[in-house]
Chain A
Amino acid sequence: MKQGAKLTVLAASLAVAAAFGSTVALAQAKKADTPATKGGEQFFPVLSYRTGAYAPNGIPFANGFVDYLKLVNARDGGINGVKITWEECETGYATDRGVECYERLKGKGTHGATAFHPLSTGITFAVTDKSFVDKIPIITFGYGRADSVDGTVFGWNFPLGGTYWDAADMLVQHVGKKEGGLDRLKGKKIALVYHDSPYGKEPIALLQERAKMHGYELLLLPVTHPGVEQKATWLQVRQQRPDYVFLWGWGVMNSTSIKEAVATGYPREKMYGVWWSGAEPDVTPAGDGAKGYSSLVFLSPAGQGAVHKDIVKHVHDKGQATGNKEGFGEVLYNRGMVGAMMTVEAVKRAQIKHGKKPLKGEEVRWGLENMALDNAAIKRLGFEGFMTPISTTCVDHRGDSVAGIHTWDGKRWVIEKGTTLVADSTIIKPMIRASAEKYAGEKKLTRRDCAKEAG
């Protein structure tokens, strides 16, 4: 081998060996990870995706989430004096990376992570099992496992504000109202264009249940990740001519669906998206074609309120804006803010019982199970108009689930006045019970005794 090549080879092998060694040392160092912050800190892991096919939706959400954490530190000095620290971890909406992020961040901070927002139903499924062992709450507001409402089985999952069964139920009720009554749905066709992942598949069970009840035909049209190829899907929509299309997409899939609907001439007025398929990045790429498209909106419509003014004053004006301020005041940014706010309020509530100090996951769970945010509290926090009251218990990890409908008019989202949708618990409760039973059986779990834990 020539001299130059030999040196390169030697350099390469040394570099590789150094890399091996340092990684092992790094991973080992995780064991002794105690921060030196005086008074301790409350650590918030932020699982986000700023790259990949889901980045258009993940970026504004993460911006909103972290901006609110920064606001609490800057404006309030932390949660009753306990500073918030956080770390973002890129998951790319991939389940295995989400699990890796979870493992890496769960032990950080004074007493470990406060709570996890997986921001992906797939990751939620994967970390639910681990949460029992690690005792860290998993907050999946508006997504996640639909059966995790049952707090006696899923002791650490919190689908605050609604699940996909609630969303699907609301949509069926809405189109039923549009038809003049749920009984008028008989003989109609509803197509579900959904993301081929646990996220997209979750509502199918409820839609099939409702189909049996009301006699409409359910057409299932899955779209494979990343969702850019939908020509054949929408050709089938054109062939079947459903009366309504429910869109259950995420990331690039949403805008592609709307564009293909334009290309095949399906009226956007008959398309209804779930609350994760109704944000600005989903409609702006289709331009004028998206006019008339509606979706559910829950917890955070687009717009700016009192809390936005605070964020501008305490965070943006001080040059601390997260990212490039993408999406400020838009639907997903606001939702991210709400997510952070609910977690912070849960910690505040838990501090009432456990003291104004850094709390561990178990203690935060108590706060999440005893949340009681009423309209007065919401107004005080500056979230009036961006949040609905929520109160949870040990048995019910969801609280009330209320949503509205907003429609894109080409420039902005317009909320349909007077439409308040509430999921029908008479149908959903038995489904939750059955599904939670099945999970408990598969995992050989014993149900929690809420009365005993409270007493």
Chain B
Amino acid sequence: MFYRENGQFKSTYASDQQMLPILQDRLFMAGVLVFAFGAVPLLASDYLFLSLLIPFLILTLAAIGLNLVVGYCGQISLGHAAFMAVGAYAAYNLVLRVPQLNFLVVLVLAGLIAAAVGLVFGIPSLRIKGLYLGVATLAAQFFMDWLFARVKWFTNYAHSGSVQTAPVDLFGWIVDTPVEKYLFLLAVLIVFTLIAKNLVRSHIGREWMAIRDMDVAAEVIGIRPVYAKLTAFAVSSFYVGVAGALWGFVHLGSWEPLAFSLTLSLNLLFMIIIGGMGSLLGSYFGAAFIVMLPILLNQLPALLGMPISTAMASHLEFMIFGALIVFFLIVEPHGLARLWAIGKEKLRLWPFPH
């Protein structure tokens, strides 16, 4: 009962179709943006940036990408970290061999290369469905792991297989302090979120959702599954490729093929499951949850005054992680995004129950 959302009438199609039709939503989003761009850089510590915010921003981008193919199109993919690796190595090679390119152009090109690879590995989805497809996508994961470790051209013949990158250089602005990295990533993430939001509201997004809900029926009414599934894989891989390039260049600075292993793929999947499949807000929540959880689990015992050995803490982390996943699946299978929506509903009616 804090405010009323009614009484806001639209008189043009454009105003009715806008992303945030309610004034309160627009104010809230503006407030969040002002906080994110203005307040956080001033208040947050370096450690907060490097350990929480920067990984959170990049992984949200990757989670949005995975959500497009798993949550919106219903094709299970267990090997998406492979496309992150493609994006990262593509960006590395572009920066190395074509140094005149602006980094933003490099990002887009890396994303396109990842999209092409994703397209190829998405072809099995035309024939295979469900969990079979999920396990088949593991082929992409392991093949990419192997490819970048073996084909020396990708790592510029480095004898250790590790690659190093210089800090990102954008029109002369060197992005090397945590605050600058944060602002750059935030800007990139917002642009990509807008694109994703528009995609899922458009006819492509509706095709994806139709395939997800009932693919035979969708085919019957004229949606071409080839087109829908492959575009889902391509767009998703584009996002994930860009996220991979950012992960390598901005967050890691130096990486080896094992940096994009199966663990990362499974983490991405957890993010969208816990956050909420088929929801962009869910990607944000899920990424925040997964990034924050290990750090919280590490600090909590010390805070509570019960120092435990690092081994025990690590095991507890695994156990609590597993238990939380099962807990979330039982309690709220639609994820944190659904909890958020329920919360908003309750706030609208508070103090009345319904």
Contact of A27 among B47, B162, B294, B327 (CB under 8 A): B47
Alpha-carbon distance between A222 and B257 when the two chains are bound, in angstroms: 14
Binary interface profile of B, 327-346, with partner A (CB < 8 Å = 1, else 0)?
11001100010011011000
Chain B positions 150 through 181: 1 when the CB is less than 8 Å from some CB of chain A, otherwise 0: 00000000011110101000000000000000
A323 touches B309 (CB 8 A): yes
A362 adjacent to chain B (CB < 8 Å): no
Note all chain A residues with C-beta closer than 8 A to B309.
Answer: 50, 88, 323
B94 contacts the other chain (Cβ, under 8 Å)?
A: no
CA distance A12 to B331 in the complex (A): 8
Q: Given the interface contacts A198-B256, A323-B309, does A103 sit within 8 Å of B332 by beta carbon?
A: no
Bound CA–CA A9/B340 (angstroms): 11
- Cross-chain contact of B254 among A31, A126, A204 (Cβ < 8 A): A126
A92 vs B315: C-alpha distance when bound (angstroms): 11
User: Closest chain A residue to B156 by CB distance?
Assistant: A442
- Check: A197 CB closer than 8 A to any chain B CB: yes
* Chain B residues, Cβ within 8 Å of A9: 331-332, 339, 342
Stretch at the interface among A15-23, A235-243, A422-430: A15-23
- Chain B nearest CB: distance from A25 CB in Å? 10
- A122 an interface residue at 8 Å Cβ cutoff? yes
- Closest residue of chain A to B145, judged by CB? A224
Say whether A416 faces chain B, with CB atoms less than 8 Å apart.
no
- Which chain B residue shows the least CB distance to A126? B254
Chain B interface secondary structure, helix, strand, loop or mixed? helix
Q: Inside 8 A of A8's CB, which chain B residues have their CB?
A: 331
Q: Is the CB of A90 within 8 A of B314?
A: yes
Question: B164 contacts A443, CB within 8 Å?
Answer: yes
Residues of B within 8 A of A121 (CB): 160
Q: Mark A189-208, 1 if CB is under 8 A from B, else 0.
A: 00000001110011011000
B315 A51 Cβ-Cβ under 8 A: yes
**Which positions 20-38 of chain A face chain B at CB distance < 8 Å?**
20, 22-24, 26-28, 30-31
Whole-angstrom distance between the Cβ of B306 and the nearest chain A Cβ:
15
Q: CA separation between A12 and B336, bound complex, in Å?
A: 9
Q: Does A273 contact B (CB under 8 A)?
A: no
Contacts of B299 in A (CB 8 A): 23, 26
Contact assessment for B47 and A130 in the assembled complex, using a CB-CB cutoff below 8 Å: no
Binds B, one of A71-79, A94-102, A256-264, A297-305: A94-102
In the complex, whether B289 has a CB less than 8 A from a CB of chain A is yes
**Residue ID in chain A nearest B253 by CB atoms:** A129
Contacts of B331 in A (CB 8 A): 5, 8-9, 12
Residues of chain A within 8 A (CB-CB) of B340 are 13
Chain B: number of interface residues, binned into ranges: 35 or more
A126 CB contact (under 8 Å) in B52, B252, B288, B314: B252
The interface residues of chain B lying within 8 Å CB-to-CB of A205 are 159
Q: Does B326 contact A (CB under 8 A)?
A: no
Q: Is B303 an interface residue (CB 8 A)?
A: yes
Q: Which of B149, B162, B292 has the most CB of A within 10 A?
A: B162
Among A20, A90, A222, point to the contact of B292 (Cβ < 8 A): A20
> Out of B51, B254, B296, B314, which one reaches A125, CB within 8 Å?
B254
- Chain A residues positioned under 8 Å from B342 (CB to CB): 9, 13
B121 contacts chain A at the CB level, 8 A cutoff: no
Closest to B288 in A: A20
Q: A95–B52 contact, CB under 8 A?
A: no
User: Which residues of A, 51-108, contact B by the 8 Å Cβ criterion?
Assistant: 51-52, 55, 59, 88-90, 92, 94-96, 99-100, 103-104, 107
Are the C-beta atoms of B310 and A107 separated by less than 8 Å? no
Does B259 lie at the interface of the complex (its beta carbon under 8 Å from any beta carbon of A)? yes
Are B164 and A439 within 8 A (Cβ)?
A: yes
Bound-state Cα–Cα, A39 to B149, Å:
49
Minimal Cβ-Cβ distance residue in B for A206: B159
Smallest CB-CB separation from A30: which chain B residue? Answer: B47
Say yes or no: is A184 at the interface (Cβ < 8 Å to chain B): no
Contact B162 A198 (CB under 8 A): yes
* Residue B325 is within 8 A (CB to CB) of chain A in the complex: no
B258 within 8 Å of A by Cβ? yes
B195 within 8 A of A: no
Does A268 count as interface, using CB distance less than 8 angstroms? no
A145 to B295, CA, bound (A): 29
B255: Cβ under 8 A from any A Cβ: yes
How many residues belonging to A are interface residues under a CB distance threshold of 8 Å? 56
Structural contact, B51 and A100, CB atoms closer than 8 A? yes
| Distance A27 CA – B46 CA, assembled complex (angstroms) | 9
In whole Å, how far is A13's beta carbon from the nearest beta carbon of chain B?
5
Q: Is residue A392 contacting chain B, with contact meaning CB distance below 8 A?
A: no
Q: Is A128 among interface residues, defined by CB-CB distance under 8 A?
A: yes
Decide if B51 touches A13 in the complex (CB within 8 Å).
no
- Interface 0/1 of A273-299, CB less than 8 Å to B: 000000000000000000000000000
In the complex, the chain B residue whose C-beta lies closest to that of A5 is B331
- Do B254 and A129 touch (CB < 8 A)? yes
A443 touches B166 (CB 8 A): yes
Contact of B259 among A23, A96, A103, A130 (CB under 8 A): A96
Interchain CB contact (< 8 A) of B314 among A5, A28, A50: A50
CB–CB A12/B332 < 8 A: yes
Question: How far, in whole Å, are A19 and B299 apart by their CA atoms in the complex?
Answer: 12
Cβ < 8 Å to A, chain B residues 220-264: 252-256, 258-259
A444 with B166: CB separation less than 8 A: yes
Q: Could you tell me the distance between the alpha carbons of A381 and B288 in the complex, rounded to whole angstroms? A: 49
Question: Is the CB–CB distance between A95 and B258 below 8 Å?
Answer: yes
Kindly state the separation between the CA atoms of A103 and B292 in the bound complex, as whole angstroms: 15
Q: From A52, which residue of chain B is reached at the shortest CB distance?
A: B314
A26 touches B303 (CB 8 A): yes
Which of A55, A95, A439 has most B Cβ within 10 Å? A95
Contacts of B295 in A (CB 8 A): 23, 26-27, 100
Tell me the bound Cα distance from A443 to B254 in angstroms. Answer: 11
A225 within 8 A of B: yes
- The residues in B between 279 and 295 inclusive whose CB is less than 8 angstroms from any CB of A are 288-289, 292-295
Residues of chain B with a CB closer than 8 A to A104's CB: 47, 51
Whether B311 and A122, one on each chain, are in contact in the complex, defined by CB atoms closer than 8 angstroms, is: no
Does A48 count as interface, using CB distance less than 8 angstroms?
yes
Interface string of A429-455 (1 = CB under 8 A from B): 000000000010011100000000000
Closest Cβ of chain B to A222, distance in Å, is 8
A30 to B315, CA, bound (A): 24
CA distance A440 to B295 in the complex (A): 34
**Please, what's the 1-or-0 string for B39-61, where 1 marks a CB less than 8 Å from any CB in chain A?**
00001111110111000000000
- Report the 3 A-B pairs with minimum CB-CB distance, sorted nearest first: A50-B311, A31-B45, A90-B310
Supply 17 further A-B pairs (C-beta < 8 A) apart from A95-B258, A103-B50: A16-B336, A20-B292, A23-B295, A26-B295, A50-B309, A50-B310, A52-B314, A59-B311, A89-B310, A92-B314, A96-B252, A122-B162, A122-B258, A130-B253, A222-B149, A442-B166, A444-B166
